[in-house]
Amino acid sequence: MEWSDLLIDRELWKKLRKIIISLFVIFNFGLIYLCLERNNLLAARLLKPFWNYFLFFGLEQDFSVFAPSPIQANVNFIATITYQDGVCKLYQFQRLDRVNLTNKVTQERWRKFLDDNLGSDRYPFLYKDIAKFVARKNNNQKDNPPTAVCIYRYTGIVPPPESKRSNPSVYSIKPLIAYEVRPEDLK
């Protein structure tokens, strides 16, 4: 006897399972279709009672990455770390175009965090914590700890497809934070 036998008779389940599973799939595809038609008033009203279910299971289809205005810039971040003896080191944050496929999968969340939060000017309160992270990560010399971290954002405008150019033509460099590292930041 299995746990499912407590809920429904085995023979009845064999007869109904294809119908129930098919209805479940059709229901979810219907919700996805309604989500894609959200600008239609009827579709929005039909979707409203199921919206929390939809969000909980991550079924929302949102194409805001592609339209109406897709992201038009490549954003990269670097940091300079100044050590106690005055030596400076350049630290480049992970760029997914420069790592192998295995690392891309594991690093994607970190890249998205950086692009979404450091890439815009909406979250300046995070800059100090990221500077502390860089200082801790580069604190590998026992008698020579980092004393300052500066983070910079490089932005390159992506040329339109019709220009057939592979490299961005316009670059801008913006300093985000110059942080003086304290000894307690390195713990």
Q: Whole-model pTM?
A: 0.60
Residues 6+ away with beta carbon under 8 Å from 88: 80, 81, 82
- pLDDT tens string, the chain, 187 residues long: the values are 666 666 778 888 888 889 999 999 999 888 888 888 877 888 888 888 988 888 787 777 665 555 556 667 778 889 999 999 999 999 988 777 777 888 777 777 777 777 777 777 778 888 999 999 999 999 998 899 999 999 999 888 877 777 766 665 667 889 999 999 999 999 8
pLDDT at position 25, please?
Answer: 94
> What is the full DSSP assignment across 79-91?
EEEEETTS-EEEE
Distance CA 153, CA 36 (A): 35
pLDDT at position 166, please?
Answer: 64
pLDDT at position 105, please?
Answer: 76
